[in-house]
Structure 1
Amino acid sequence: MGKVESLSFHVLTLQKKVEENKKGSKEKAVWEIRSSAFKEGGFIPKKFTADGENISPPLSWSQPPKGTKSIALIVEDPDAPIGIFTHWIIYNIPPAIRELPAGIPKKRVLKSIGGAKQGKNDFGKIGYGGPSPPPGPPHRYIFKIYALKETLDLSPGVRRGEFLKAIQNKQIKVATLMGKYGR
């Protein structure tokens, strides 16, 4: 192999590696969830709590990973005196949807969100139940979104345990957003 051929071979090999790295970095891109109402680690505005209008905050997320068939979300308070307290379960969100506006209706099935279903929160109600901590230090509220490789065969109104069992081995990627609220 001559010097020119050898150099051409090395240039082509280097170009191929660069393309593979670009492709790999796109596939490994971070999946994020955010809210226009509060920042990561920030305080959740009163409007979205039991002390305010008790409506769900606006949420949006980046493009889900390849192979996502549905999206699910759970909101939990890990600081509750009784242990983890569930504030919201919503699942079977179509992967083409990239946001939930503020004030999602408290209905079992949401036709406006592609037939997404909602579970029961620990207040015993369907849909979102805003932060309602006892007086004291602020609690953390974890908004955890899942990219799933299939839709969930669950009836509306499921509780946390059944939901978590159903998503086992179906998760492609998980993203979280944490907000705080205290009284």
Structure 2
Amino acid sequence: MKMNTLLSLAIGITLSTSSSAFELTSTDITEGQKMAKTFEFSGFGCEGDNLSPQLSWDNAPEGTKSFAVTAYDPDAPTGSGWWHWLGFNIPVETSSLKRGQDMARLGAVELTSDYGSIGFGGACPPKGHGMHRYQFTVWALPVDKLELDNSVSAAILGYTLNSMAIGKAQLTATYNR
């Protein structure tokens, strides 16, 4: 009986003193809510401002040495989704990206989006295709720099991030036309 009481007390103390969860927030987009036209692509029949939203993250896991940020639409009618933004080697002292951020200015590497251009490519779901989800993810990495360059595919970066991230935080906004 005493062992169970001690164990319960120890678990309660551990839970109450554990650090806060890794979290991604934005002043521009809200979880589960439709994004503004500001974040729509300019091209492919879309007429938005093609700006990336502001993103901030807190409570990165212990051991984090750099970050990656991705934006992905799993609802795109491609069979493989649509990569809107892929950046990595973001310095560990970075905890936010401003609206319209060029990650290269931070010393990060940005990959070609599925639009065929480097940097952010906004939402542009086909008209009448329904609501699409846009998953903005910040990845906490245990290395200062990934040994990849800007010629790797989104699949290679995704594989690398999923195989080594020590934490990730996600914010999913929506959009339709």
Q: If the TM-score is normalised by the length of the shorter chain, which range does it land in?
A: 0.7 to 0.9
Match of 1:143 among 136, 148, 152: 136
Partner SS for 1:103: coil
Distance 1:68 1:166 in 2: 15
Give me the whole-angstrom Cα distance separating, in 1, the residues matched to 2:15 and 2:64: 22
1:47 aligns with 2:38: yes
CA distance in 2 between counterparts of 1:117 and 1:171 reads 17
Deviation for aligned residue 1:22? 4.5
Which residue number corresponds to residue 95 of structure 2?
A: 98
Percent identity of the aligned residues?
36
Map of 1:174 onto structure 2: 168
Task: Please name the residue that 2:21 is paired with.
Answer: 30
Matches within 5 A, 1:34-183: 34-50=25-41, 51-83=47-79, 84-105=81-102, 110=104, 112-113=105-106, 115-136=107-128, 137-150=130-143, 151-183=145-177
TM-score by length of 1: 0.81
- Whether contact under 8 Å (2:74, 2:82) holds in the other structure is yes
What do residues 39-77 of structure 1 show as CA deviations (whole Å, max 9, x unaligned)?
101111101111311011111111311100111111111
Unmatched 5+ stretches in structure 2 = 1-5, 42-46
Paired residues of 2:21 and 2:59 also in contact (CA < 8 A): no
Give the superposition deviation at 1:122. 0.4
Whether the aligned pair in 1 keeps the contact of 2:67 and 2:139 (CA below 8 Å) is yes
CA change 1:19–1:85 in 2 (3 A) is same
Unaligned stretches of 5+ in structure 1?
A: 1-12
Aligned residues: 162
Q: Superposition RMSD on alpha carbons, in Å?
A: 2.0
C-alpha contact 1:121 1:159 (8 A) present in aligned 2: no
SS in 2 for 1:126: coil
Give the 4+ runs in structure 1 shifted more than 3 A. Answer: 16-23
Q: Which residue identity lines up with residue 24 of structure 2 in the other structure? A: I
SS in 2 for 1:169: helix
CA distance in 1, matches of 2:167, 2:21: 9
Counterpart Cα distance in 1 of 2:159 and 2:29: 30
